[in-house]
Chain A
Amino acid sequence: MARDLAIDLGTANTLVYMKGRGIVLNEPSVIAVNRQTGEVLATGREAWQMIGRTPGYIVAVRPLRGGAITDFEITERMIRLLLQRVGVSRFTRPKVVICVPSAITEVERRAVTDAARRAGAADAQLIEQPMAAAIGADLPIDEPIGNMVIDIGGGTSESAVISLGGIVALEAVRVGSFDIDASIQAYVRREHGIAIGERTAEEVKVAIGSAAETEDESQAEVRGRDLMTGLPRTVVLTPEEVRVAIDDTLSSIIDSIKRCLAKAPPELAQDFLVRGMYLVGGGGLLRGLPQRIEKETNVPVRMSNMPLEAVVMGAGHCIEHYDALKTMFMGARR
């Protein structure tokens, strides 16, 4: 008998929680395929290392963009391989709970559940990421208290107000960490005339990226291809330049948080001033981001203890208490 699974199918990373076992898989959501034969060559970390470095006949892609499936067939194969790696076979078909962005359309919702069922799941249910994040971040969402969670992922940023076991207000934008990386790429191209890859842009963000001025800032050397000569060239980027590059992207994320705050009923809004808002997701790890959100909203911001695992832990809790929490799944209420 297969153990039931919870999957955080993120744009950046995929995490799998197995009932009674905990998190058994944490890998980048990347798959490398041979274009000529259609064979899968690598998944996860191995495929991630191939991005931007493959010969013509190999393509290493992220099948999800903005939290949505951009390539149904590739996603299905990736889910199938993931399930195989955690022990699912044609004879052992588990129940699966998958975390998806709340702004997902009906078509996208069906695409995810169909992919999971075809990949070997006996039943596939979906749960909104902010809800799973709030459960995983251990917020007291069972109480009549306003809990606000902000989940900044690779492709989406979602804010939700949760009280008494349900979502009261919700706001989502299809902007996330990858858009921050893309902003850095575009800035370097525009201001320095060199082209850099998405992995390099991510490294710049991790090394010197910040949302607000911080102590002990340093510069970073960036290597890329000169757009005029086509030759390799190195430029030096300052943290100030990176802040300018990513400002618009961060502003759209912060604007969506403000819209969510504005939607909250007054009785719950007053709780935020005391309890603060909880930040989860890899995007929340950007230096100075909690401080900037706090400055722009006048509401304290706290980091979750497990920002990268909160969503899958929340979904894991739903799989452990499947019958009691099945009303929480998307579709169950509609």
Chain B
Amino acid sequence: MTWVYVLIAVVLVVSVWLMRGRRVESGMTSYRKHIDALSSESRRGVREVNDRQRNGRRPNDTGK
């Protein structure tokens, strides 16, 4: 009998996960995320990642 409860629990978890995936964000929310991801603070992370890489190992430079 326990396996039936386990199965129901699994089905519920999967359904909730699928519904979360299908949930459509409002235009305002996704636009806000888009703008926030382009902020200067957000971009600082990429520069820091690259600076770490540059200090660690220098990729082969080219001319042009």
Contacts and interface: CB of A to CB of B under 8 A. Distances in A.
Tier of interface size on chain B: 20 to 34
Contacts of B62: 13, 26-28, 45, 48
A154 interface: yes
B20 interface: no
Interface stretch (A64-72, A135-143, A186-194, A228-236): A135-143
B13 interface: no
B36 A316 contact: no
A316 B46 contact: yes
Given A21-B53, A141-B38, A27 B46 contact: no
A311 to B, nearest CB: 13
B64 A282 contact: yes
B40 A140 contact: yes
A165 B35 contact: yes
Given A22-B50, A22-B53, A154 B64 contact: yes
Interface residues of A, number: 38
Interface in B15-58: 30-31, 33-40, 42-43, 45-47, 49-54
Interface stretch (A93-101, A116-124, A322-330): A322-330
A164 interface: yes
B64 A313 contact: no
Contact of A177 (B31, B51, B59, B64): B64
Contact of A327 (B30, B43, B49, B63): B30
A138 B39 CA distance: 9
A290 interface: no
B32 to A, nearest CB: 9
A26 B47 contact: no
A48 B33 CA distance: 42
12 contacts: A22-B52, A22-B53, A22-B54, A24-B59, A28-B63, A28-B64, A45-B60, A135-B43, A142-B36, A165-B34, A282-B64, A313-B47
Interface of A: 12-13, 17, 20-28, 44-45, 48, 135, 138, 140-142, 154, 164-165, 177, 202, 206, 282, 309, 313, 316-317, 320-321, 323-325, 327-328
Given A13-B62, A320-B49, A325-B34, 8 more contacts: A13-B64, A23-B54, A135-B38, A135-B43, A142-B36, A142-B38, A202-B64, A309-B50
